[in-house]
Amino acid sequence: MITEPYKKEEESPPTESHLVPALLMCPPRFYGVSYVINPWMRGNLGKSSLSLAMQQWQKLYRVLSGMAHVLLVEPVAGSPDMVFTANAGLARAGIVAISNFYYPERQNEETHFRRWFADAGYRVADLPREIPFEGEGDALFSSDGLRLWAGHGYRTHESSHAVLRELWDLEVVGL
């Protein structure tokens, strides 16, 4: 998940590279395919390799750490999909809209992500419980920051767009 830009501590004068992206990651300590909530999981119950997932995650972490400030959220037992942090919420300008996961299997993650963002100093915004919204997995800000590209379907309801529009006072383009 993309969070706020991070001010890189350097001795040289500030340049455009002075601000680096900040990304949120979660180690796959409890990762596994233990239920089916999307087509990619179907046929893969119990087939994931925790050691391979950890190796791949560590390689990704090293690569991303070379180009961004990587922040970590601690994984929680019983939340194997917490590693997919794009779904944690949507963050911009010190505000985060925490996800309302559609599937009960992921709803336990909401409390942990809410606490992490609050502890990190974000103003946490909760959408109404009855509106499914799965964060950056279904919505991304445009590169100029003037609009939000937002999908909708069973994971994210179209009614979330009005809440997001009001939260950041910007155009939301439904996809």
Hey, what are 20's tokens? 């680096």
pLDDT at 3: 66
Residue 102: pLDDT over 90: yes
pLDDT at 18: 53
Q: What is the pLDDT of residues 108-126, one digit of tens each?
A: 999 999 999 999 999 999 9
Measure the CA–CA gap between 174 and 165, rounded to whole angstroms.
Answer: 11
Q: What one-character DSSP code corresponds to residue 127?
A: P
Q: What is the pLDDT of residues 19-68, one digit of tens each?
A: 678 999 999 999 998 888 888 888 888 898 999 999 999 999 999 999 99
Hey, what are 77's tokens? 């037992």
Hey, what are 117's tokens? 């963002």
Q: Bridge-partner residues for 53, per DSSP?
A: none
Q: Around Cβ 100, how many Cβ atoms within 10 Å?
A: 23
Give the pLDDT mean for 64-92: 96
100-104, Cβ contacts within 8 angstroms, sequence gap of 24 or more:
100/126, 100/127, 100/128, 100/129, 100/131, 100/132, 100/133, 100/134, 101/132, 101/134, 101/155, 102/132, 102/134, 102/154, 102/155, 102/156, 103/37
Fold held by 6-130: L-arginine/glycine Amidinotransferase; Chain A (3.75.10)
Residue 86: pLDDT over 80: yes
Higher pLDDT, 12 or 174: 174
Q: What is the pLDDT of residues 126-168, one digit of tens each?
A: 999 999 999 999 999 999 999 999 999 989 999 999 999 999 9
Hey, what are 23's tokens? 């990304």
